Amino acid sequence: MRFDVGDAEQLPYADASFDVVSSAHGIVFAVDHSAVAREVGRVCAPGGRLGLTFWLPHPELAALMDRFGYRRPAGAGVPRDWTRTDYVNALLGQDFELEFSEHECPWTGESGEQLWQLTVTSDGPAWTGVAAMSQAERDALHSDWVAYFEGHRTDEGVSVPRPYLLIHGRRRGAS
């Protein structure tokens, strides 16, 4: 297995280069979703497999995350659109036989404070959003974040349910 960093809208690989194409909460953030879908279909070999994931809407957590002020370029696709099966079918259904299933991967940590620190130091858009806030806004979000996560305390720490959509596909055109 090899991992490369690149532009998902213009992959530097030949047609049908891969038997498996996957992205865990990644390609959904590309600006041009149609370009990404074309590239995924182009580089996946006939009969090859596709696996994509993205977080499903979780209203309380989404409200907190939105307060970071994630900024998208004008005209950019909305990442949460990838949770809509009709949207994904329109993008990928011509090239792939698709299956959708919902799963859960809890967001766990020692404390709400630990998860706050992890988020604002390792999530680029969150770090940028917090840096752009006034001290009062930052303090309010910090307090609300920690309280939300602490409201999901277990004997082992905190555990917030994080539902996600798994998109599994098989590339059409296999012989």
Q: With contact defined as beta carbons under 8 Å apart, do 54 and 32 qualify?
A: no
Q: What integer is the mean pLDDT of 137-156?
A: 94
pLDDT at position 175, please?
55
**Euclidean distance between CA atoms 37 and 68, whole angstroms:** 28
Determine the 3-state secondary structure of 46 from DSSP: strand
Entry pTM: 0.84
**Euclidean distance between CA atoms 98 and 164, whole angstroms:** 16
Identify the H or E element spanning 63: helix 59-66
pLDDT at position 147, please?
96
Q: What integer is the mean pLDDT of 118-130?
A: 86
Q: Which domains does the chain carry? A: 18-171 (3.40.50.150)
